Amino acid sequence: MIIVTGGAGFIGANLIAALNDQGQTDILVVDNLEKSDKFLNLRDLQFADYHDKREFREALRQGRFKETPISAIYHQGACSDTMEYNGLYMMDNNYAYSKELFHFAIDRKIPLIYASSAATYGASTTFTQHPDHEKPLNIYGYSKLLFDRYVQQHRANIQSTVVGLRYFNVYGPRESHKGRMASMVHQLYHQILQTGHARLFAGSGGYGDGEQSRDFIHVSDVARINIALAQQSPPIQGTFNVGTGISRSFNAIVQNLFTAMNRPSQPTHYIPMPEGLAAKYQNFTQADISHLLAIPGLHDRPMTLEQGIKSFVQAKEAGL
């Protein structure tokens, strides 16, 4: 069996789709469907069973999976809302839950691939895996960083694969449920679809209007990387950046969307950044993926923004 936590979410559902493409269907999906529209991500996928997150955590504590053969755990479940200020909830969901799953995995030597985040870098302008560059700006980023450090503290006792993936700006199909936390690619696509034009922030941090830039990676590359890491032999441990290694502007997203949607380009509407946001806004990110590309089986570079947006629009037109 394969376990995918956050399996009804954006990355988790795309990961299950990729596993299905490889013929894998003996999958336990773990999630919280209180936000019920996430079920739409699951309806075309094949898996063996579904557990509510709370039911799953209780099953772990009671040892109900002790005799279950498990080949890999993909821990994608987390609260990813960077505007969530309930620290108690965030630390339980992102830190305590992850520790429970971590100890279960290493005790049974099950490969564990878990979602960290580029939010661990926060205010840094250098995006390499080093404590000097880890400066989270919110409780979400801190919860992810704290678990990365917890795993590192126990590394001497780990004999199986345990890998944390610091996702940069992931976009792709199956993220409609995320609302304001959906990728800018998703949000800009729907702005163009509904109004004919895009809205972006005016210049900030020394960048011109819409020229703030991020490292955008298509979710299919994220799924491919997860699966390849779980299959590593000998086992591998570490924290790795997951991006393209190339920063692209929001203006570039807009232009590529118009091209992929086969629409004539229209002027972008630039709006002032809300008061108070500028101090917490990342004007630039670019993943250093040199360590990731050095891993056997992961030498292929991710899709370019042009390729990824074309694939994204095709998936949208197919109803995903």
Instruction: State phi, psi for 305 to the nearest 5 degrees.
Output: -60, -40
> What integer is the mean pLDDT of 143-156?
95
Percent of the chain with pLDDT over 90: 79
Q: For the chain, percent helix, then strand, then coil, each to nearest 5?
A: 40, 20, 40
Q: Which domains, and CATH codes, for the chain?
A: 2-171+216-245+286-303 (3.40.50.720), 176-213+247-280 (3.90.25.10)
Q: Give the model's pLDDT for residue 151.
A: 96
Q: Give the model's pLDDT for residue 90.
A: 82
Would the pTM count as exceeding 0.85?
yes
Question: Please, which residues have CB within 8 angstroms of residue 244's CB and are 6 or more apart in sequence?
Answer: 168, 215, 216, 217, 221, 287, 289, 301, 302, 303, 304, 305
**Residues annotated as part of the active site:** 140, 178
CA 286, CA 77: separation in Å to the nearest integer? Answer: 24
Distances in Å between the Cα of 211 and the Cα atoms of 85, 225, 286 are 29, 29, 14
Whether omega for the bond prior to residue 69 falls within 30 degrees of 0, making it cis, is no
**DSSP reduced 3-state for 269:** strand
H/E run at residue 61: helix 53-61
Q: Give the model's pLDDT for residue 222.
A: 98
CA 206, CA 125: separation in Å to the nearest integer? Answer: 13
CA 86, CA 76: separation in Å to the nearest integer? Answer: 20
